């Protein structure tokens, strides 16, 4: 089957290695996840591929994303690196291939790597193409370069302490879906009093409330977890519909607390 939209929630695999990655993917799929997110830089594509293979879920029912690292952005490198990713993932295509970060300092021109990514799509290596960690101006530039070729998503950090409003709004204007990574702010949501209070009232966990808030904004969360009970709880968060008052209270937590901010990051909005 071909996916015309992103599944509502995904299983992130950042920092998962070896058997942890293998088991987490298999467990997530058995619980009902159908969207798995990895990247060349995570160094776990082979284990993610094993998890998918051993899950018994047909590959065509799984939406699989990988991301191309910034040292592979020259046109010839990009296609080769994607072939390598597919070999590690034990599949003939991914559903979505993303540029993980814009080229630091524009060392490789955006037109070069986005056109190469579109070539990979035309070759059938990926069904959809997209971007990650792109600013508003970079999204505009990408849209201009790709013209009629849809940009499936911009994957950026989104959680209650970094709402990333400008990027989310701008993506919406451009018709680009937003995927939110680190929706639990690497566990910080568990310690927040507002989230704890709403969770108590809802008989839920602060993590579930954070995920429900991300979803309420039309953003697709990709929380990462190795424990099946947490994976299930994250999935169950989709059933929580927050009230306007609750959303407002969580909106007020935004303090531009960015966790993924390497020295090669673009100048954020």
Question: Who contacts 18 (Cβ-Cβ below 8 Å, separation ≥6)?
Answer: 44, 47
pLDDT at res. 3: 87
Contact in structure between 8 and 215 (CB atoms under 8 Å): yes
Taking only the tens place, the pLDDT of each residue in 176-213 is 999 999 999 999 999 999 999 999 999 999 999 999 99
Domains of the chain with CATH codes: 11-185+219-225 (3.20.20.100)
Which pLDDT band holds residue 10 (cuts at 50, 70, 90)? Answer: very high
Q: Which of 148, 66, 69, 146 is nearest to 102 (CA)?
A: 69
Taking only the tens place, the pLDDT of each residue in 242-263 is 999 999 999 999 999 999 999 9
- For residue 104 the two structure tokens come to 């630091």
On whether 159 is known to bind a ligand per the annotation, the reply is no
How far is the C-alpha of 56 from the C-alpha of 252, rounded, in Å?
A: 43
Mean pLDDT, residues 219-238: 97
Question: Who contacts 107 (Cβ-Cβ below 8 Å, separation ≥6)?
Answer: none
Taking only the tens place, the pLDDT of each residue in 32-82 is 999 999 999 999 999 999 999 999 999 999 999 999 999 999 998 999 999
Contact in structure between 151 and 174 (CB atoms under 8 Å): yes
> Average pLDDT over the chain, rounded to whole?
97
pLDDT at res. 1: 61
pLDDT at res. 2: 73
Contact in structure between 47 and 21 (CB atoms under 8 Å): yes
Indicate the pTM of the whole model: 0.97
Mean pLDDT, residues 223-252: 97
pLDDT at res. 111: 98
Residue 236 confidence (pLDDT) above 80:
yes
How far is the C-alpha of 28 from the C-alpha of 154, rounded, in Å?
A: 23
Taking only the tens place, the pLDDT of each residue in 125-170 is 999 999 999 999 999 999 999 999 999 999 999 999 999 999 999 9
Of the residues 33, 42, 113, 181, which is catalytic?
Answer: 42
Question: 113 catalytic, yes or no?
Answer: no
Q: How would DSSP label each residue in 78-134?
A: HHHHHHHHHHHHTSS-EEEEEESSPPGGGSS-HHHHHHHHHHHHHTTSEEEEEEES-
Calculated CA dihedral for residues 127, 149, 182, 184, nearest 10 degrees: -90
Nearest 5°: CA angle at 74, between 92 and 126? Answer: 20
Lay out the sheet containing 63-68: strands in order across.
11-12, 35-37, 63-68, 94-99, 126-132, 153-157, 177-181, 220-221
């Amino acid at each position: 089957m071909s996916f015309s939209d992103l599944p509502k929630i995904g299983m992130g695999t950042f920092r998962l290695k070896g058997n942890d990655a293998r088991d987490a993917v298999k467990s997530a799929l058995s619980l009902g996840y159908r969207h798995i997110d990895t990247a060349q830089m995570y160094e776990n594509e082979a284990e993610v591929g094993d998890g998918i293979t051993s899950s018994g879920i047909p590959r065509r029912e799984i939406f699989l994303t990988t991301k191309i690292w910034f040292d592979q952005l020259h046109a010839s490198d990009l296609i080769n690196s994607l072939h390598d990713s597919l070999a590690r993932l034990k599949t003939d295509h991914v559903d979505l291939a993303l540029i993980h970060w814009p080229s630091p300092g524009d060392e490789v021109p955006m037109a070069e790597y986005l056109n190469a990514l579109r070539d990979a799509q035309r070759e059938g290596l990926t069904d959809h193409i997209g971007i990650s960690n792109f600013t508003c101006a970079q999204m505009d530039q990408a849209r201009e370069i790709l013209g009629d070729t849809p940009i499936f998503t911009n994957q950026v950090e989104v959680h209650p302490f970094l709402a990333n409003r400008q990027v989310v709004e701008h993506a919406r204007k451009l018709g680009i879906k937003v995927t939110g990574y680190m929706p639990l702010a690497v566990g910080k949501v568990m310690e927040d009093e507002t989230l704890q209070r709403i969770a108590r009232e809802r008989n839920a966990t602060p993590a579930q409330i954070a995920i429900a808030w991300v979803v309420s904004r039309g953003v697709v969360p990709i929380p990462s977890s190795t424990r099946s009970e947490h994976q299930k709880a994250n999935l169950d968060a989709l059933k929580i519909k927050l009230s306007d008052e609750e959303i407002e209270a969580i909106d007020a937590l935004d303090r531009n607390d960015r966790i993924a901010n390497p020295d090669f990051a673009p100048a954020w909005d």
